[in-house]
Every structure is written in C-alpha cells, then in structure tokens.
C-alpha cells in the first residue's frame, strides 16, 4: 500500500494575521499538525473552533493547530477585519488569510469547516469535513502521537499561544442591544456579561461574572458564554446565551439567573416539538424576541426559527427546514441562512439572514417572504428599490414603533440602513461617524442605539438630526 502523500508547503501568498513569522510545515516534523480551513462568518466553523480548542488542550505536548481562513465576503479579504474576527473568537493559534483560495485548492478542501491532519512525518493522514467530528479527530491525533513516540520521532515541547490582542476597553465586542423607555441592555459578549444601563450609558447592574462559563445563580455568580439577543417580559429578562447554546432567564427582582431551554452543550434538535426544553441541546441561538406568550428564537446554527412557549413550557419548530438557503413559501418548507437578528411587529416576524445577506419576513400565516436579498452568494452595498438592494452579512434589525421602517446594521458594509416595510426599498443612513462591524441595534421613538462591535462601543443616534453620541459605558 502506498504511503500517504507529504503535505504541500503552505503557499507564500498567505496573509498571516497574528504571527510575525509564517509557520513552515517542514520544520514541524515530529509534531502532529491540524490545518483548520474555516470562514469567519460560517457558523459551523465557529462550532469547530470550540471543538478544536479541547483537542488542542488535550494534546498540547505534541499537537500544533494552524488556521487557514478562506473568505466568502469582500469584507473578509481585508486582514484587519479578519484579525477582529479571530480575536472575537478567542483564537490562540496562528491564522492566515487564504484570500485567493490557494491553500484550499492545494489540499483539495471542499467544505467549511475542514481539518487536514498531518502526521509527525508531514504526511496527510486524513481530511475531515464538517463540524461534530471532535471525537474522531481527537482519537486520530492521539494515535498519530503514540505512533510517533513508539518510533522515537515525536517532538514533545508544547506549542506557544499567539495573538495580536485587542486594546483593553470597557466593552469587548458588544453584540445585541435591547432598549426600554428607561433602560438599555447591552450584551457585552466579549466579556461574557449583560449590562443594564440608562440611556446615557451609566451602568445600573451587571449580570454575569465576566468569565466564560455556564452557571446559574445570583447576578454576580452566574456565568455566560458569548451572550447575544435579549427580550424583556414583565420582570423577566431572557438572554440567548449563544456560546452555551441555551436560553437563560434573569429574574430582575430577585437577582437569580436560571436556564429555561438548552443543556449548556451544543446539539441539533431533531424533532419538531419538545415538552422539556431544558433537556434539548440547542444550536447557537443568536437572537430572541417576544411574541405574546412565546419567545421566538433565531437558531443560527441550524438555519431555523424556533418558538419557546413560556406558559406551556414547550419548545417547537416555528419556521425553516434546517437546510441553508433562501427559499420562500410555507414556513415548514422555507429555508434560512444563519438567522442572527429578529424583530416582531404587527404579528410579523422579521429576520436578518446574515449568510444570505437578506431580510426575510415570516407572516402570521407562516409564509416566508424575502424583502431584500438575492441569494447566498449575492451580496454588495446597493441602495434602491427592493429588487436592487444588496447587503453584506447584516446581523441585527429593529423596527420603529409604527412598524413602517426596519432599521438594520449592514455589518460587513460598516453601515446603518433603513428598509421601508411598505415596499419602498432601502437606503443608507449617512452619518458623521465611522462604524466598524456593527452587530446590534435597538430602536425607541426618536432614538437608535447601535453596537459598534468592532470598535468596542455603543452609540446613541438622535433620529431627528443625525447626532451621534458615544456612550461611556463602564468608563
């Protein structure tokens, strides 16, 4: 039987983001190497990073991981933008941007995410495609390291973590926002906490310890992991705890945090109805919105919308087949593409379909309609009538009080835009302020709040005159 081929050397065209000297595969003999081919916006790649983190920790004395990013969106071709993305995902191994897909073709990669496993002699032992393969990869790495040790070619020195960290700031990659008449709630996702503030940015309460974890309890003891969307119903604040794949409930009077859906582990709900939501492993719930007695959930990890009935304590599928796409029609046959933002007004659910660069509507009869957006690989920065509008990975939306305008952050275009809900199309809101990967927005009469995520800040916009005020949250 022929031996596995020696892996090709990494191409010189790669743009290295967080190391000054490019890794050389030939100089890594004696170690097992994982080449992780991923995309920053791809939710499956996000899950795979978490899986690889445990493999890295387990085999730290013989394993090296190298990230190879291939862009889908124009925004991702810029190294500075990608550095923000890997810092947001807490990546601590070398990462390069394969802007022209050279390494992708060299290794015969066909899907995000994929992992090419190289043995201690630099041979390609396997290429594993898709998320959910942690056990297979872990076992293969362990076997290859044991074989290298038995043949006395294993190099045991642990790898060093690398990074080009973000500046120290009071907020870290703030994500979703929610505003009431008196308060502004901020998902300070990089700090794994939720902040209750007034409209001028003064912190009233902090919910969560600021350390990554999954723990219920009092405000100061509870732990979150990349909290995102929020909804307030009476004295209960609900939080989409994306990194823990669950929905948390915050009792604003008693100061208690508990879990009402999800197990804290990543999963994929297989049936359409569950009577015990806390036994179901969810899949990257990114946003939530109140709709009567229900919470509607943007289940980004499997491209669906789910509903959690708070009175009956049941979890069921609301819309979407689970296949990525942009198919309209009956909700059980429609498809979404990484839904990350929700707004509910006049019995219509509006969805920011980030990977589809689209805004969708789910009507009260369950039918799904695309308002703007042309397809999974059709994106851009074009205003105008609905058929002409092009967006680039919009992540959050908010409806005005009258239900006539949908405000949206066009995340990868670094813009704020307004979409007419009466068929008038979309236009950019030109402000004397620079946005960088905005990923959250909340609306009140006369005010907008925007999470300027890449700049680690939240701003307030006066819609009557366009004045932008940076809120000094935590400063």
52 occurs within a structural domain: yes
Q: How many domains does the chain have?
A: 2
CATH number, domain with residue 70: 3.40.30.10
Q: Hey, which residues does 408 pair with through a beta bridge?
A: 397, 417
Residue 161 within any structural domain of the chain = no
Q: Please check whether residue 161 is in contact with residue 92, taking contact to mean a CB–CB distance below 8 angstroms.
A: yes
This prediction has a pTM of: 0.96
pLDDT of 253 above 80: yes
Q: Are residues 442 and 302 in the same domain?
A: yes
Which pLDDT score is estimated for 2? 54
Q: Do 140 and 197 lie in a common domain?
A: no
Between CA 99 and CA 135 the distance in angstroms is 30
Looking at the structure, do residues 198 and 137 belong to the same domain, yes or no? no
Residue 160 inside a domain? The answer is no
Q: Are residues 136 and 213 in the same domain?
A: no
pLDDT digits (tens, 9 = 90+) for 55-64: 999 999 999 9
Distance between CA atoms of 291 and 309, rounded to whole angstroms?
A: 10
Same domain, 288 and 331: yes
> Quick check: is 444 in a domain?
yes
On whether both 37 and 181 belong to a single domain, the answer is no
Q: State whether 59 and 131 are in the same domain.
A: yes
- Shared-domain flag, residues 32 and 99: yes
Phi, psi for 115 (deg, rounded to 5)? -125, 120
Q: Is residue 460 part of a domain?
A: yes
Whether residue 71 is contained in a domain is answered as: yes
Q: For residue 320, which of 342, 298, 341, 340 has the smallest C-alpha distance?
A: 298
φ, ψ dihedrals at 267, nearest 5°: -150, -165
Q: Are residues 403 and 308 in the same domain?
A: yes
pLDDT at 305 over 50: yes
State what percent of residues in the chain have pLDDT above 90: 96
Confidence category of residue 161, pLDDT binned at 50, 70, 90: confident
37-51, 157-171, 209-223 — which is least confidently predicted?
157-171
pLDDT, mean of residues 76-82: 96
* pLDDT tens profile 427-464: 999 999 999 999 999 999 999 999 999 999 999 999 99
Q: What is the mean pLDDT of the chain?
A: 96
Distance in angstroms (rounded) separating the CA atoms of residues 224 and 434: 30
Quick one: 75 and 133 in the same domain? yes
**Does any domain span residue 156?**
no
Q: Does residue 6 lie within any of the structural domains?
A: no
| Mean pLDDT value of segment 318-339 | 97
Kindly report, residue by residue over 405-416, the tens digit of the pLDDT: 999 999 999 999
3-state secondary structure the chain: CCCCCECCCCCCCCEECCCCCCCCHHHHCCCEEEEEEECCCCHHHHHHHHHHHHHHHHCCCCEEEEEEECCCCHHHHCHHHHHHHHHHCCCCCCEEECCCCHHHHHCCCCCCCEEEEECCCCEEEEEEECCCCHHHHHHHHHHHHHHHHHCCCCCCCCCCCCCCCCCCCCCCCCCCEEECCCCEEEEEHHHCEEEEECCCCCEEEEECCCCECCECEECCCCEECCEEEEEEECCEEEEEEHHHCEEEEEECCCCEEEEEECCCCCCCCCCCEECCHHHCCCCCEEEEEEECCEEEEEEHHHCEEEEEECCCCEEEEEECCCCECCCCEECCCCCECCEEEEEEECCEEEEEECCCCEEEEECCCCEEEEEECCECCECCCECECCCCCECCCCCEEEECCCCCEEEEEEHHHCEEEEEECCCCCEEECCCCCCCCCCCEEEEECCEEEEEEHHHCEEEEEECCCCEEEECCCCC
Q: Do 132 and 206 belong to one domain?
A: no
User: Residue 1: what pLDDT?
Assistant: 40
Residue 53 pLDDT level (bands cut at 50, 70, 90): very high
Residue 3: its pLDDT value, please? 74
Among the candidates 134, 150, 166, a domain finishes at: 150
37-40-46-51 Cα dihedral, nearest 10 degrees? 30
CATH at 404:
2.120.10.30
What is the span of the domain harbouring residue 446?
177-470
Residue corresponding to tokens 């050389």: 24
Say whether both 260 and 114 belong to one domain: no
């Amino acid at each position: 039987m022929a031996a596995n081929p020696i892996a090709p050397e990494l191409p010189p065209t790669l743009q290295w983001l967080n190391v000054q000297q490019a890794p050389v595969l030939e100089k890594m003999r004696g170690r097992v190497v994982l080449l992780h081919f991923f995309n920053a916006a791809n939710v499956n790649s996000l899950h795979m990073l978490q899986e690889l983190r445990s493999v890295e920790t387990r085999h730290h004395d013989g394993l090296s991981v190298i990230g190879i990013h291939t862009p889908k969106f124009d925004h991702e071709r810029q190294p500075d933008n990608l550095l923000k993305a890997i810092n947001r995902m807490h990546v601590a191994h070398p990462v390069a941007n394969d802007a022209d897909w050279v390494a992708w073709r060299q290794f015969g990669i066909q899907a995000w995410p994929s992992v090419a496993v190289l043995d201690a002699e630099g041979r390609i032992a396997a290429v594993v495609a898709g998320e959910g393969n942690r056990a297979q990869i872990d076992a293969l790495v362990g076997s290859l390291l044991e074989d290298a040790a038995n043949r006395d070619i294993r190099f045991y020195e642990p790898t060093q973590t690398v990074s080009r960290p973000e500046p120290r700031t009071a907020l870290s990659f703030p994500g979703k926002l929610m505003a009431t008449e008196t308060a502004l709630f901020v998902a300070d996702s990089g700090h794994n906490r939720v902040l209750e503030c007034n409209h001028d940015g003064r912190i009233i309460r902090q919910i969560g310890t600021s350390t990554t974890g999954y723990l219920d309890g009092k405000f100061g003891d509870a732990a979150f992991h990349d909290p995102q969307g929020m909804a307030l119903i009476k004295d209960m604040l609900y939080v989409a705890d994306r990194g823990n794949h669950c929905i948390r409930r915050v009792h604003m009077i008693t100061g208690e945090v508990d879990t009402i859906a999800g197990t804290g582990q990543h999963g994929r709900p297989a049936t359409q109805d569950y009577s015990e939501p806390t036994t179901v492993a969810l899949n990257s719930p990114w946003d939530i919105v109140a709709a009567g007695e229900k919470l509607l959930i943007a289940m980004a990890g499997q491209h669906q919308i789910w509903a959690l009935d708070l009175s009956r304590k049941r979890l069921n599928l609301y819309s979407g087949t689970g296949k990525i796409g942009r198919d309209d029609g009956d909700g059980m046959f429609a498809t979404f593409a990484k839904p990350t933002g929700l707004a509910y007004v006049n019995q219509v659910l509006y969805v920011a379909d980030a990977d589809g660069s689209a805004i969708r509507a789910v009507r009260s009869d369950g039918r799904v309609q695309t308002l703007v957006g042309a397809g999974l690989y059709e994106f851009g920065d074009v205003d105008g009538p609905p058929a002409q509008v092009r967006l680039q990975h919009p992540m959050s939306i908010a409806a005005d009080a009258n239900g006539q305008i949908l405000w949206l952050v066009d995340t990868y275009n670094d813009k704020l835009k307004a979409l007419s809900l009466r068929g008038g199309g979309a236009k950019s809101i030109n402000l004397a302020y620079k946005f960088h990967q905005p990923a959250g927005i909340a609306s009140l009469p006369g005010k907008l709040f925007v999470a300027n995520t890449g700049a680690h800040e939240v701003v307030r916009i006066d819609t009557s005159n366009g004045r932008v005020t940076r809120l000094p949250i935590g400063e």
